[in-house]
Amino acid sequence: MAEFTGVLLARTMVEARIAEAALQDAGIVCLVENFTSDPYDGLWVLQRGYGRILVQPEDAERARGIIAEALAAAPLPEDEAASAGEEAAGETDEPEEPPQ
């Protein structure tokens, strides 16, 4: 069995699918290991992200470059773009709602 190494920890399924498609288009064999285990009903997704992209070690450096280009060219969904902007700013103008 071939060995694989991680090249991306994808935050969302969209990010994972963009990376997977880009690698497949480039002829790089990849696997998507997701963290959405049924018994835990997605618990790990909140802590780790959606999953990770794995490739063979000899393709790792090239794969990272391909993934970086693909993600930079891909538009983010609205909610991800908003949260990325908030994280970059460090604060939001909206007050936090108290837990109910």
**Level-2 CATH architecture, domain 5-85:** 2-Layer Sandwich (3.30)
Per-residue confidence at 43, pLDDT binned at 50, 70, 90? low
Measured from the Cβ of residue 63, the count of other Cβ atoms closer than 10 Å reads 24
Domain boundaries, the chain: 5-85
Q: Within a 10 A sphere around the Cβ of 5, how many other Cβ atoms?
A: 14
Q: Choose the most confident range, by mean pLDDT, from 38-42, 45-49, 77-81.
A: 45-49
**45 — pLDDT class (breaks 50, 70, 90):** low
Burial class (CB in 10 A: 0-12, 13-18, 19+), 91: exposed
Q: Where are the alpha helices (DSSP H) in the chain?
A: 13-25, 43-48, 60-73, 78-89
> How far is CA 50 from its chain centroid?
6
